[in-house]
Amino acid sequence: MENLAGLYLHIPFCRRKCAYCDFYSKAQPKLIKPYVDALCWEMETHKDYLDECRPYRLRSIYFGGGTPSLLQASDFQQIFQTIEKHFDLSRCEEITLEANPDDLSEAYLASLRDLPFNRLSIGIQSFNDRELAFIKRRHNAQEAIAAVKRAQDAGFRNISIDLMASLPFQTLESFADSVAQAIALKPQHISAYLLGLEPEVPLSKSLAAGLWKECDEETSIAMYDMLCQRLTAAGYEHYEISNFALPGHRSRHNSAYWSGLPYLGLGPSAHSYNGRTRRWNAADLKAYLAGEQDYEEEILSLNDRFNDLILTRLRTCEGLDLIQLEEVFGKTRKDNCLKNAKPFIENGQMQQKDDWLRILPSAYALSDNIIRELLEV
Ligand code: SF4
């Protein structure tokens, strides 16, 4: 089998923090230039992590953040030159830039068209101005719509947009309206996530102060069911619990995570995986810029690798390949997995068919509970 891998580049800058966000990023865009130098330096020093993928043939590259659309064309040129120096891009199918709608001016999009990007992932989250303002996004609904149209006019033919459900003040109706607006823009891909809050983010504090009320579980499930039904009816393939794509437009980069391909993550807080170990960089921009690019690493036990397989594959519509499971982990573990899955197969939440075990789409909203029962402790 050909050795392919993914490359993730973390850009830890935002103009300002959104109220729900706990991704590692700083509102210090002035540090971008030295950061690009440090990122290229890390690429030189850590490229060997993918040693099983020699000669480092990349299938996908993903610029995430933070707000990668704060970088200028010259920054990207410097990064791409370094990537080309160290990796084989002959099999690279997808190069994604995460972008905020308000960064996507006509001039900026034109500058991106001269770079190798062939996919944009635009963080819209909602098409409701009250919801957007409360979570402190920098755009309103009209600006988001205009940004997607400008990207399409600039020639981007592979656009993903992000939506969020269970936002403050969101109702089933307002979420349905956001879903309708998303469909009307005809993006090739839509990711939709339920709001999840870490204790230290501002939205958790405003919740505790009684400024808004959390969506109840019944409404959250109704939102998810409506989303799945409307996107499927509009021709989107529901290929992963939170991801939908028009035919031929699944995210190659995220699919690689879910199918266990190795990946190298660069930048503070980025994670890497090479099949034997997992590595995560320290979330410390100051130290990173000072050349102290610390990371922690764990060697994956057989149990860790088994649980990784369950956690990732059961999120996808194909599910878990039982032949591969037995080949890698043995018959006893496979039989144990099927024994744990049996109650869910019997109650219609899972299906075992042609040596594949999968969670049925009607039970995706309960997938966390199902997957938990199949993990080995
Ligand atoms: S733009 Fe993205 S990374 Fe930055 S604060 Fe908002 S959600 Fe977080």
Q: Among 120, 100, 93, which Cα is nearest to 7's?
A: 93
Cα-to-centroid distance, 110 and ligand 1 (Å):
23
What percent of the chain lies above the pLDDT cut of 70? Answer: 98
> Which residues have C-beta atoms less than 6 Å from ligand 1?
14, 17-18, 21, 23, 25, 65-67, 100, 123
Q: Which CATH architecture has domain 302-377?
A: Orthogonal Bundle (1.10)
pLDDT greater than 80 at residue 53: no
CB proximity list for 128: less than 8 A, separation 6 or greater: 141, 170, 174, 177, 178
Cis amide prior to 64 (ω within 30 degrees): no
Q: Is 168 helix (H, G, I), strand (E, B) or coil?
A: coil
pTM of the model: 0.95
Report residue 20 as tokens.
């729900």
- Mean pLDDT calculated for residue range 265-280: 95
- pLDDT confidence of 187, banded at 50, 70, 90? very high
List, by residue range, all CATH 3.20.20.70 domains of the chain.
5-257
Strand-pairing partners, residue 65, are 11
What tens digit of pLDDT does each residue of 79-131 get?
999 999 999 999 999 999 999 999 999 999 999 999 999 999 999 999 999 99
Which atom of ligand 1 approaches the CA of 21 most closely?
Answer: 8
Q: What is the mean pLDDT of the chain?
A: 95
Task: Report the b/e string of 319-336 with b at 16+ CB within 10 A.
Answer: bbbbeebbeebeeebbee
Using an 8 Å Cβ cutoff, are 94 and 253 in contact?
yes
Cα-to-centroid distance, 290 and ligand 1 (Å):
24
- pLDDT confidence of 374, banded at 50, 70, 90? very high
Helices (H), 189-330: 202-208, 217-233, 252-258, 285-289, 302-313, 322-329
- Mean pLDDT calculated for residue range 16-32: 94
Distance (Å, whole) CA 283 – CA 26? 11
Which CATH fold topology does 5-257 show?
A: TIM Barrel (3.20.20)
Distance (Å, whole) CA 23 – CA 71? 18
Residue 317: HSE in the Cβ half-sphere, 13 Å Cα cutoff: 13
Which atom of ligand 1 approaches the CA of 137 most closely?
Answer: 6
What pLDDT, on the 0 to 100 scale, is given for residue 45?
92
Pick the residue whose CA is nearest to atom 5 on ligand 1.
Answer: 17
Cα-to-centroid distance, 136 and ligand 1 (Å):
10
List, by residue range, all CATH 1.10.10.920 domains of the chain.
302-377
Please give the DSSP secondary-structure letter assigned to residue 88.
Answer: B
Using an 8 Å Cβ cutoff, are 189 and 158 in contact?
yes
What pLDDT, on the 0 to 100 scale, is given for residue 50?
86
- Mean pLDDT calculated for residue range 182-201: 96
Using an 8 Å Cβ cutoff, are 314 and 370 in contact?
yes
Phi first, then psi: what are they for 372, rounded to 5°? -55, -40
